Structure formats: structure tokens, C-alpha cells
Structure 1
Amino acid sequence: MFSLPASSRKYFVVLVVLGGDTPFSDEQLATISHTRVYHPDAQPVGKENATLVFLARNSDLDDVKTSVERMERRYNHQNRYPWVFLNEQPFTDEFMETVANMTEAQISFGLIPPEHWYQPEWIDEEKATQGRQKMHEQNIIYAESVPYRNMCRFNSGFFFKHELLQSYKYYWRPNVDYFCNIAYDPFTYMRENEKIYGWTISFYEWEPTIPTLWETTKEFMAQHPGYIHPDNAMRYLSDDGGKTYNLCHFWSNFEIADMDFWRSPAYQAYFDFLESRGGFYYERWGDAPVHSIAVALFAPKTAIHFFRDVGYRHEPFQHCPQGETYKQGSCTCKRWDNIDYRSNSCTPRFERLFYD
């Protein structure tokens, strides 16, 4: 990566090389994206190698403002962890300047490489169209949306490969509404307690969106038994020893995780296997079940953490801390509006991993 010298200006431009080394050929120059970095001299107060990652479009500005404001007020104003915003289209000046004015932390705006975002050319479009039409007839949300599938595939297999994230170990996807002050550093908790994946809401996936995901996963497990951790969380995923999938997953719009896990041979092999089947487009495989299945199978169950003290909402569900935790965090959510132990929640299944 090459950067212009930092100055007293509000931002500088980083040239992110998506292929090859300098000096640049004409072909390499065509792959360079200009990444805007605001507050380049800002240093994190938090001590971990971590960042806040936000996938957004220019049209999402109002929702982004809400999320950034809540995250800064509830947590990051006292930690100043850097933000990384990613988009498949260039961010507008209005978007970047508006968001940058909401934080004192360094904030970078990057462009997603086309090959990481758009539907691959080898996908059978006729088959994919038929799959989308079938979901439309079943009244499934985002049934006909190819961009939604692009997002799910990107979050499953590519976001952690982006140039702006290569120097980081931990990330937090914060694009939700936060209700409670977070007085400690979750990143430090992850490191000190050898956690790989942190979540707050867990419930059932819509089966028609992933009809062959588990059978594909079983094929992968049969071919790569060495990747399955001996102290795995299969009982969270399956009620019959892995014959069938009970559809439980961690909702990934909030996740704090170790990107080295996604970069590991086990996860890379798993994603490549899923990718080869085309299920991100022929069906609508989401990054939430893909991440959840992977971490439950390839990591020890003790490396998965329920952040029960983090109150947040992503429509239409929310997790609201209970008891003394609610008071300590100065939470503003209604305690009765809490998905944890409702019939559509998988939280009890996760807890039984440790108490049965």
C-alpha cells in the first residue's frame, strides 16, 4: 500500500493496490481504487488490533448516521477504534464527510473489488433465475434480489480479504441500534479469554433460503473430517448428531470476531466448497448461517461468546440485558422486549452446550 504523507488536512487519499506490486503497469493502474481516510493521525485508545467494519451504500446514510452515533456514544468515543466503510460503488463526498464528522477516530472508505461482489460469470443464470422466482412465489424477503445475494457472499467469503482490513485481527460489525453503555473493551475480552466469535441474538433461519446448505456441509465434513474440532458445538446446530440442521444461527448484523478464523485453512476450504456449489445464487445462503455453522464446527464451543450485556436492536428483533446488567449499562430498552427465551430463539440451545 502506498499513501500520501499525512498533513494538517482533514483527510488524505490512500491508493489501495488490488493487484500486483509497484511500479504499476497499465493493467495494474486499472485496478487501483482511491480510498479516502479521515482523521489519519487519530490513535486508538483501545489497545487491541481491531476495527469497526461497516458495509453500506450511499443511500444508507440516514441509517448509518444513527448507527455511528449510537456506537460512538455508547462505546467508541472512549476507545477510538478505527472505522472501515466498504461499498461496491464509490462513496459520495456527502456520505464520507457526514460520517467522518461523527467520530474522532480514523475512518476509511474503501471500494470493494468487483470480483468480490458481483455474481460470478460461471453461475448458470437460468438456474439462478428459477431459484429466485421460486422464492418469490414463497413470499420470501429479498427473494428476487441479486444484490442481497452479492452481500451475503461478500460477507461470507471476502470482506476479511479487503486491503483495508489486512492489518487487523478483530472486527466488530456495529450496524445496529445500541441501548446500553459498554464500559469495558469487548475486543480485550475476546483476546484475554481466547474467544473467536461473539454474538447477541440467535434464532432460526428460514429453511427455503438454504434447502441444500446442510447437505453440502455434510459432504464437506465427510471429505475433511480433520477440520472438525473435537470440542465443537454441533449440538447447537443439530438435534440428531448432525443428520439434520435445526436452522439455528447467530444473527450476523452484530458480530465481534477474529478474522484469523475466517482466514484459516478450515474456513477457506469450507467457503470454497460452498462457493463451488453456487448456493449463494441458486438459493439464498446467508452469511449468518454460513458463519454460524463454520464456527460451531471448526472452533471449540468455548471460543463462542454470548455478549448478553450488549443491548441492541436490528429490526424486528432485539436483545435487552436483564437484571443488574441492565442497570449497570444505563440501558434504555424495554426489558420485556427481549428475544432470548421466546419460541423463535436459539439462545437456550447454545446455553445447554455448557449446562447439560
Structure 2
Amino acid sequence: MKGLTLFGSRSPYLKYVAVVLTVLVIYTLTHHGATSYMDINKELQQQVKQPQQSDPASGKVQVPEQLKHKPKASVEDIEKFQEQLLSGDKTGWEATELLSEEERLAAVAQVKEWAQLNKEKQNGKDNGAGAGAGESAQGQSPQQAESAPAVADAGSASGSASTVASNEKVKATFVTLARNQELYDLIKSIRVVEDRFNHKYNYDWVFLNDVEFTQEFKDLTSAICSGKTKYGLIPKEHWSYPDWIDLNKAAESRKKMKEDKIIYGDSESYRHMCRFESGFFWRNPLLDEYEWYWRVEPGIEIHCDLNYDLFKYMQDNDKVYGFTISIHEFEKTIPTLWQHTKDFIEKNPQYVDKDNFLDFISDDGGKTYNLCHFWSNFEIANLKFWRGEAYKAYFEYLDATGGFFYERWGDAPVHSIAAALFLPKSKIHYFEDVGYRHHVYGQCPLNPQYRYEHKCSCNPKDDFTFRGYSCGKKYYEKMGLTKPAEWVNYQ
């Protein structure tokens, strides 16, 4: 993608300006009396218009007048704006009139980048951040692999801001369990995550498989991902029958579930997957350096621009588990899961948090399970929770019963029950703004102004949050949250 640049070969004049501006940047960084680039950003923020409001009477989106017939900014307009920033000339700011907010932010971000590079060169600590991008993680320098700057296209009104500085990022990664044959469905998922979110942040991506990934899989995924890509082979002990499982009993169970037409009832691989996602993905050495993960599966969609760092939001707001869709489980897949859970709690009451979320998963104080759970094909969570004593003990207890194979326990109810019991409910977060969809169920922000401002491509009529089979209404009620005003129209 073409970057905003003041250092091209447009004319001898611009080359001369480039030299002068570089000197000005160095002078700015080394003299306390000069205007700092942080002040430049503050000046810029004062110009950004307040968000437009929708008309509550009509429900229509109010499109800002200046966007209806706005001329497109040229490269020269952006260069002029950057010249004004670097010179400290606050009279006029004519160049800002044609720039979109995203273009202005991207221009400021690049000025900061130039300033930082000049500072590092002056201190003899140039880290090579100006090196070429676009290589796979295997061929990148550590600086490139961690946070190669993504700069907006100067001629595009839809260009995005520069990446968040590496010292502001959290220790986080995307995690995908996928098979080689799912490659072409998966790269669509990766593409939408990158376009809607990660091209601004460049978080890493960890891919896991029970067989070796093909070179084609590695080449295509590394080409699409903006952060480092890592490929892991799942150990056999994490994707096989443990010694205590009666294989004949497991086979009979699969046969009976197939006859009963239970979804994935006769699938061995599905059971291995659910057991792996419940008790082993977070133990993979490729995840050791991370504290947070965002699970992404083939075939998912994200319909809205995400203009903030979801990982950092979770960390800064002391959250542990985040989800987008809640739903009822198929009761025939987990007939004994709740009884085993009650047995575990009776033996280990110390693990239940006093401010737990039991009333979300049980309507009678814990006697029975109401089947509500968070749909785990999307989850953003802190890996410390799964690595902690309570969850590890809970999983090992469940695993010893054989329920993953004798029944068909999903990782979603296992994760959800654990989060509801072992966490204070304040640490569970519902991401209502993602516009997420996985196969037949989807979430779409109901507020029309939000959908306009975040370029959402979903139809609110397809939102599942407050439908009968969803647990969204219960989540809002038990969490004490106010439902969006529009929810009554989408039940």
C-alpha cells in the first residue's frame, strides 16, 4: 500500500524541504523551548469534530454535511499539512480542510515516526525501523516482525492510522486451530480480522494443527497476517484417547448419538478438538510468551471497524474473559456435565468466587444448569485464567470422567461454567460492538449511528443477541446492564 511520504522525488523543492524539516525535527527534540510533537497531536485532537448523533425520532443516521460532497485530499495536501506540523506554523492550517480524520491521524503518526527515528539516530540507537516490510516472519528482523509500521495511503480517504507503538501493546496473539484443507476458508477470516482490526496493531498469530502445516498454508497465512506468524504441531498426547478411556464404550456412544441425529454425534475429531480447546491449547509452548489471546476460526466474519485495541481494553479495565455471542447448549451432548461440576465444587469450594456469575448459568441457585454459555469460537481472554490452579483442577477432574468421549462435551460450556464460577462477574465482558458472525448465528450492533460510523456491513435483523434461543437477554439482566434502545425491535 502506498504510504504517506514527504521524501519522494517529486521535485528539487521537496528534497530541499525534506532536509530542512529533518533539521527542524532534531531541533524540536533537543530543545525544551520548541514545540514538541506531543503538542502537535494535542492541537490536532482539538480539530477533530464531535461524533454525529442520530435522530432519535426518526432513527435515521445524520450524515455530516462535510462528508456528503467532500473533495478528495491529494498527496500535496497531506505533505502541506505535515510541513505545517513540523514547522510549528499554527496560522491557517489550510491543508487540514481536505483531509479526513484518519488521514490527519496517519500524517501525525508518520511525523512522530520521523521524529523518533531522528532521535534514535542522534543517540546512535537506530533500530532499523525504516527497513522494508512485507516479508514473512521467518525472514524479518525482530523489529520488523514485532511492529512493522503500517502507514495510510496518501491518496485514499479510507487510509488507516499508523500502528500503535510497541510499548503500548499488550502481550497478546490470535490463536487458530485449523486443518490444512481449511486454508481457503481461513484466509477469508484472517483477511477480515486484519482489515477491521489488526492492520492497525500488528498482533501475532499462532496456528495449531494435529498434523504438520503445508508450505502453502504457511506461505498464504504469513502473507496476510501483519504480525509474526507461528506454526505449532499439537503433541499426540493432546489429541488422542487417554489411557483410561474405554474405546468400545466411546464407540457405542458415538453410534447412539448418530442414531439420535445429534450434531457431530459420531465425530471422533470433534471430540478431540473440544478436549484440546478445553484443556491443552493454552499449554502449547508457542503461547508461553503471551498473556492474552483472541480465538479465530475458519468461516467467521467481523462486520464493523474496530478502532480501539480490544486486548488493551481488557487489560486496562481488569477484564479476564470476553465474548460476542451467548447461546443455549444442546442438552443431549452434556447430560452429566453439570452433575460432575457440582461434585467438583463440593470437593473444592475454595475455587468458587464470592462474586460469581452463577445466576447466569443456573436459574435455581445451582441445582440445575440452564444450558447458557458463551460461544467460544470467539473469545478474548487472559491465558492466566486457564493456567491457574482452579481451572486446571476443574479440567483434570472433568477429563478423568471420560465425558469428552462418552458424551460430547463442548469446550464452550466448559469454558463458560468455569468463568461463571471461578471469576467475579465484573471480569466478564460482552463485546457488543464487533459485528461478529459464525455460520448461522451473528451479532450486529443495533444502533444505526454506530453502524454508520464504524462502516458495519451487517443487517441488524440478523442480530441474535435478544432472540429466544440466545442467552443475551439473561446476560443483560443478570449483569444489571441497560439494553440498547433498539432491542425491542429485534427480539
Partner in structure 1 of residue 428 of structure 2: 304
Confirm or deny: 8 A CA contact 2:356 2:425 kept in the other structure. Answer: yes
Deviation readout 1:4-51 (Å, 9 max, x if unpaired) = xxxx99557xxxxxxxxxxxxxxxxxxxxxxxx564631145511100
1:275 aligns with 2:378: no
Amino acid at match of 1:71: V
Quote the offset at 1:325 in angstroms: 2.6
**Structure 2: 5+ residue stretches without partners:** 1-131, 148-162, 482-491
**Which residue does 2:472 correspond to in 1?**
347
Q: Does 1:145 align with 2:267?
A: yes
Aligned to 2:146: 43
Residue aligned with 1:101, SS: helix
CA contact (8 A) 2:329 2:373 kept: yes
Structure with a larger share of its residues in strand: 1
The Cα of 1:138 is off from its aligned counterpart by: 1.2
| Structure-1 separation of matches of 2:249 and 2:141 | 46
Q: Judge conservation of contact 1:196–1:257 (CA < 8 Å) in 2.
A: yes
Give the one of 172, 182, 185 matched to 2:306. Answer: 182
Tell me if 1:193 matches 2:317.
yes
Q: Indicate the SS of the match to 2:460.
A: coil
1:352 Cα shift? 1.3
Equivalent residue for 1:250, pick from 358, 374, 377: 374
1:43 corresponds to which letter in structure 2? E
Q: Given the alignment, which residue of 331, 335, 338 partners 2:463?
A: 338
In the TM superposition, what whole-angstrom CA distance separates every residue of 1:199-236 from its partner, at most 9, and x where no partner exists?
Answer: 00001000000000000000001000110000000000
Structure 1: how far apart are the matches of 2:195 and 2:357? 35
Structure 1: give runs of 5+ residues left out of the alignment: 1-7, 13-36
1:155 matched to 2:277: yes
CA distance in 2, matches of 1:252, 1:183: 23
Residues 1:164 and 2:286 are matched in the alignment: yes
Q: Check whether the contact 1:39–1:104 (CA below 8 A) recurs between aligned residues.
A: no
- Name the TM-score, length of structure 2 as normaliser: 0.65
Q: Distance in 1 between matches of 2:474 and 2:247?
A: 38
**CA drift at 1:180:** 0.6
SS where residue 224 of structure 2 aligns? Answer: coil
CA distance in 2 between partners of 1:328 and 1:297 (Å): 37
Of the three residues 308, 329, 333, the one matched with 2:454 is: 329
Greater radius of gyration (CA): 2
SS at match of 1:84: strand
Report the Cα distance in structure 1 between the residues aligned to 2:183 and 2:139, rounded to whole angstroms: 17
Give the Cα separation in 2 of the matches to 1:38 and 1:224. Answer: 49
How much does 1:348 deviate?
A: 1.2
Q: RCO (CA 8 Å, sep 6+): is it higher in 1 or 2?
A: 1
Q: Bigger shift: 237-246 or 174-183?
A: 174-183
Task: Measure how far apart 1:140 and its partner are.
Answer: 1.0
The question of whether the paired residues in 2 share the 8 Å contact of 1:65 and 1:99 is answered with yes
- Structure with more of its chain in helix, by fraction: 2
Q: How far off is 1:174 after superposition?
A: 2.2
Structure 2 counterpart of 1:64, from 172, 182, 186? 186
Cα distance in structure 2, aligned partners of 1:239 and 1:318: 25
2:188 maps to amino acid: T
RMSD: 1.7
Partner Cα distance (1:327, 1:206) in 2: 36
* Distance across 2 between alignment mates of 1:39 and 1:142: 41
Match of 1:206 in 2: 330
